[in-house]
């Protein structure tokens, strides 16, 4: 049994590695490569965040502090390498970020992890605000509004690698990402990792079997800050710039959203969340000014209908997959998906018309193109049309949801029958 | 006989309300001791004081002749005193095996380590599997504790309590809410897992108390009004008036 799981797990890691290697060969445009690089950084950051939220039950509003401080230290280190004052290959620069993150984890974590629950969340927010305020008070280190810029093409080229090309940077990030993913997964399988779960579930009981929950939280926070700092160091190499924004509360909120959307209850949840949110942020913002609104609506829908995130949606289907009944769900899912698309089309039309009238009227008037149609947002027709589309979509979704429920019932019966047998 | 656990003039007040009014109690090594008393007498509070859940207002508590007054629960646990809870207090999302493992990991010295794979710790896995068998949850080994039946959760509660190998065990109403057969199973389990250990238990079921205990202490309004063998307690006038009498109505 155990060896079977080991083989399956190894296969999963091997596939992950292959995908990470193959992606830039398939998506060769430079914006795609830069997006993949961002995803790699986000994956490390989100996984490090989930060491706190998902594994130890600590809701932090200030995790970007460790990412950002790691980034600033890496930026200065990179500038020192450039000036010939530091003999460190750029490949290992993220370690500077990691060590800086870890050091601040030791300092700030000592204060924050004295408490759990709401007090922890509040103190983490306080520290985030404090560090953000400091970043404007010490312009020599944080570079003021402009931040610290740097140049990653420094030092001797090792085997022709200079990190001048986006693809080389991607592979550097992917390599670190892979190593960090394995390290963070391995951590969940250690005594500390298991006790983090125990402290999350019932900190008091952990005391009565000999563990100090504060020490468990503190150690987890220090380790998690290390990985956040590595992500910060990689961000410096990727952007060649770090500003105070990277350690602010918005960045902290962002990593929380990523982890939550992906699902904090499963190790791989934040990976999905980081990839998806990074994609939405860079792809959606190319298409529409209203992308933050769409993103907010998406988050809202996730919280309302899938509070466990995408990972829990996937996990929900595993029993059906195991008994080979997944295909029974497909027709009803297609119906529900189609109905949702109808609602979405109406909603997008409505939102885009509002944006056209409110923000783009002066520049380009009220005539607009959407879904291959040209119409005038000054007329009542498109407004009525979009609302009607949403209403029709809602009715269809209501019908489709009954189909989904009916097919789930069948699948559940099949699962129970298999279990009973 | 040296005392495994000794309480000297222990008092506890919550605000102005005194719950424990000067308890003196010496539990001998290896004895099975039951604490009985009417509802609200302070039995659970007494356990909370001994195990470090609440600080005492005054008085001293010592474990194997070393004072433990004022220590946090984890330190008391590390010195060899483990307790169970009246309201089941386990790790609901962890499996039965993992619940047990939490206690075993500390006791086997693996503590906060993050450089070893927990699945590779043979001694831990073997010990946990033994314990899972001992509390008769072998078939439920990989089931999350939160979905076990009530009696199974109570058995796991005892399992987590004894898993660390403590030599003084405090059980708070281990058979509360159980049917007769479940109670019989629980008593057999308690007997088997406390062999060679010191047991202190709070219990309402008199058949359990008189069947298991070597000695009994009766707690009324935060004071021990009598301590003695089951025979002595049965014949004690003050006890009959204060406690046993009311049960016979």
H/E run at residue B107: helix B96-107
CB atoms within 10 A of CB A288: 15
pLDDT at A44: 98
Question: In chain A, what are the domain boundaries?
Answer: 16-303, 318-420
8 A C-beta contact, residue A112 and residue A63:
no
Cα–Cα nearest to B200, from B41, B48, B13, B9: B48
Kind of pairing between the strands at B17-28 and B32-36: unpaired
Residue A3 forms contact with B (CB below 8 Å): no
Q: Which of B68, B84, B89, B105 to mutate to test the interface with A (most CBs of A within 10 A)?
A: B105
What's the mean per-residue pLDDT of chain B? 93
Contacts of B211 (CB under 8 A, 6+ apart): B187
Flag whether residue A4 sits within 8 Å of chain B, measured between CB atoms. Answer: no
Asked if pLDDT for residue B246 goes beyond 60, the answer is: no
Is the CB of residue A208 less than 8 Å away from at least one CB of chain B? yes
Decide if pLDDT at B248 tops 50: no
- If you measure CA to CA, which chain A residue comes closest to B99? A198
Nearest CB among A186, A187, A210 relative to B164 is that of A210
Mean pLDDT taken over chain A: 91
Q: Would the CB atoms of A216 and B112 count as touching at under 8 Å?
A: yes
**CB-closest option in A192, A205, A207 to B90:** A205
Average pLDDT over residues B117-142: 95
| Minimal Cβ distance to A202: which of B78, B91, B110 | B91
Which residue would you say has higher pLDDT here, A86 or A224? A224
Which domains does chain B carry?
Answer: 3-248 (3.40.50.300)
Calculate mean pLDDT across residues B223-240. 92
pLDDT digits (tens, 9 = 90+) for A14-67: 999 999 999 999 988 888 999 999 999 999 999 999 999 999 999 999 999 999
Sheet holding B3-14, edge to edge: B17-28, B3-14, B58-63, B66-67
User: For B188-197, which contacts have Cβ atoms below 8 Å and span 24 or more sequence positions?
Assistant: B189/B135, B189/B136, B189/B155, B189/B158, B190/B158, B192/B134, B193/B134, B193/B135, B193/B158, B193/B159, B193/B162, B193/B169, B194/B32, B194/B162, B194/B169, B196/B30, B197/B30, B197/B162, B197/B166, B197/B167, B197/B168, B197/B169
What's the average model confidence in pLDDT over A235-254? 94
* Min Cα separation B108/chain A (Å): 11
A194 and B105 within 8 Å at the Cβ level: the answer is yes
**Residue indicated by tokens 């997006």:** A35
**Interface contact A168, partner B, CB < 8 A:** no
Q: Of A409-413, B87-91, B128-132, B143-147, which range is least confident?
A: A409-413
Residues of A in contact with B142 (CB under 8 A): none
> Is A209 in CB contact (< 8 Å) with chain B?
yes
A251-270 residue pLDDT tens: 999 999 999 999 999 999 99
Q: Indicate the range of A103-117, A264-278, B127-141, B235-249 predicted with least confidence.
A: B235-249
- Overall average pLDDT of the A227-241 stretch: 97
Does the distance separating the beta carbons of A190 and B102 come in below 8 Å?
Answer: no
By C-alpha distance, the chain B residue nearest A265 is: B93
CB nearest to A190's CB, from B83, B92, B114: B114
The residues with which B21 forms a beta bridge, in sequence order, are: B11
Tell me what pLDDT residue A398 has: 94
The answer on pLDDT for B107 being more than 60 is yes
pLDDT of residue A216: 97
Chain A: closest CA distance from residue B123 (Å): 13
Tell me the per-residue pLDDT of A64-97, one tens digit each, with 9 for 90 and over. Answer: 999 999 999 999 999 999 998 988 899 999 999 9
What's the pLDDT score for residue B1? 62
CB B33 within 8 A of CB B224: no
pLDDT for the residue numbered A29: 87
What was the ipTM of the complex prediction? 0.94
Query: What was the pLDDT predicted at B66?
Result: 95
pLDDT at A356 over 60: yes
Q: In this model, does residue A191 exceed pLDDT 90? A: yes
In Å, what is the CA distance from A113 to each residue of A213, A222, B87?
Answer: 9, 10, 27
Q: Is A212 within 8 Å of chain B by CB? A: yes
**Cα R_g (chain B), whole angstroms:** 18
Q: Which of A290-304, A380-394, B141-155 has the highest mean pLDDT?
A: B141-155
Q: Which residues of A touch B106 (CB under 8 A)?
A: 209-211
pLDDT in tens, A49-60: 999 999 999 999
> Domain spanning A16-303: which CATH class is it, in words?
mainly alpha
Instruction: Name the residue among A190, A197, A209 with its Cβ closest to that of B103.
Output: A209
Q: How far apart are the CA of B147 and the nearest CA of chain A, in angstroms?
A: 14
Q: Cβ–Cβ of A210/B78 closer than 8 Å? A: yes
Query: How far is it, in rounded angstroms, from Cα B147 to Cα B143?
Result: 7
Taking an 8 Å cut-off on Cβ atoms, the answer to whether A191 and B116 are in contact is yes
Cβ contact A170:A178 at 8 Å: no
Among A182, A188, A197, A210, the residue to mutate for chain B (most B Cβ within 10 A): A210
A194 touches chain B (CB under 8 A): yes
Q: Which two tokens stand for residue A359?
A: 């923000």
Instruction: Quote the pLDDT of residue B249.
Output: 41
Of all residues in chain A, the one with the smallest CA distance to B50 is A208
Mean of pLDDT values over A380-392: 90
Yes or no: say if A44 and A227 are a contact pair by the CB < 8 Å rule: yes
């Amino acid at each position: 049994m155990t060896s079977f799981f080991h083989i399956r797990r190894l296969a999963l890691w091997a596939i992950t590695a292959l995908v990470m290697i193959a992606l830039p060969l398939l998506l060769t445009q430079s914006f795609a490569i830069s997006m993949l690089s961002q995803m790699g950084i986000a994956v490390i950051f989100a996984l490090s965040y989930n060491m706190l939220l998902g594994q130890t039950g600590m809701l932090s509003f200030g995790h970007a502090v460790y990412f950002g401080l790691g980034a600033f230290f890496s930026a200065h280190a990179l500038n020192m390498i450039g000036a010939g004052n530091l003999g460190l290959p750029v490949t290992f620069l993220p370690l500077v970020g990691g060590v800086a993150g870890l050091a601040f984890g030791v300092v700030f974590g000592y204060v924050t992890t004295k408490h759990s629950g709401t007090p922890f969340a509040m103190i983490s927010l306080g520290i985030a605000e404090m560090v953000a305020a400091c970043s404007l008070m010490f312009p020599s280190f944080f570079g003021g509004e402009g931040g610290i810029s740097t140049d990653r093409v420094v030092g001797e080229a090792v085997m022709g690698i200079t990190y001048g090309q986006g693809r080389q940077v991607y592979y550097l990030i992917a390599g670190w990402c892979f190593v960090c993913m394995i390290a963070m997964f391995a951590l969940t399988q250690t005594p500390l990792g298991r006790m983090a779960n125990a402290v999350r579930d019932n900190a008091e009981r952990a005391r009565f079997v000999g563990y100090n929950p504060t020490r468990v939280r503190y150690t987890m926070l220090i380790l998690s800050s290390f990985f956040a700092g590595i992500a910060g160091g990689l961000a410096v190499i990727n952007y060649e710039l770090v500003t105070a924004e990277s350690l602010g509360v918005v960045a902290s909120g962002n990593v929380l959203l990523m982890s939550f959307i992906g699902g904090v209850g499963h190790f791989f949840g934040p990976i999905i969340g980081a990839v998806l949110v990074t994609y939405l942020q860079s792809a959606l913002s190319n298409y529409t000014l209203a992308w933050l609104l769409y993103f907010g609506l998406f988050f809202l829908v996730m919280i309302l209908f899938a509070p466990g995130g995408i990972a829990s949606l996937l996990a929900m289907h595993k029993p059906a997959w195991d008994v080979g009944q997944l295909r029974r769900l497909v027709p009803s899912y297609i119906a529900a998906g189609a109905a949702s698309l109808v609602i979405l089309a109406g909603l997008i039309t409505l939102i885009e018309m509002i944006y056209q009238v409110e923000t783009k009227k002066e520049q380009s008037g009220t005539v607009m193109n959407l879904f291959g149609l040209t119409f005038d947002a000054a007329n009542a027709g498109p407004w009525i049309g979009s609302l009607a589309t949403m209403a029709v979509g809602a009715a269809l979704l209501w019908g489709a949801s009954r189909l989904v429920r009916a097919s789930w019932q069948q699948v559940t019966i099949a699962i129970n029958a298999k279990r009973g047998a | 006989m040296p005392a495994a656990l000794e309480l000297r003039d222990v008092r506890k007040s919550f605000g102005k309300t005194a719950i424990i009014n000067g308890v003196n109690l010496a539990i001998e090594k290896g004895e099975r001791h039951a604490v009985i008393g009417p509802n609200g007498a302070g039995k659970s509070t007494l356990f909370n004081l001994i195990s470090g859940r609440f600080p005492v207002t005054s008085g001293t508590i010592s474990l194997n002749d070393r004072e433990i007054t004022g220590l946090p629960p984890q330190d008391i646990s590390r010195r060899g005193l483990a307790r169970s809870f009246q309201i089941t207090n386990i790790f609901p999302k962890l499996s039965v095996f993992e619940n047990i493992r939490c206690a075993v990991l500390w006791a086997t010295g693996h503590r906060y380590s993050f450089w070893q794979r927990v699945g590779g710790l043979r001694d831990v896995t073997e010990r946990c599997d033994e314990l899972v068998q001992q509390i008769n949850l072998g078939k439920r080994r990989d089931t999350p504790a939160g979905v076990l039946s009530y009696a199974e959760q109570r058995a796991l509660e005892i399992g987590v309590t004894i898993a660390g190998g403590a030599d003084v065990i405090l059980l708070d109403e281990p058979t509360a809410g159980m049917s007769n057969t479940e109670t019989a199973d629980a008593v057999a389990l308690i007997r088997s897992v406390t062999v060679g250990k010191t047991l202190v238990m709070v219990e309402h079921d008199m058949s359990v108390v008189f069947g298991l205990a070597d000695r009994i202490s009766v707690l009324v309004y935060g004071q021990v009004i009598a301590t003695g063998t089951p025979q002595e307690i049965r014949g004690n006038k003050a006890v009959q008036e204060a406690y046993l009498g009311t049960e016979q109505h």
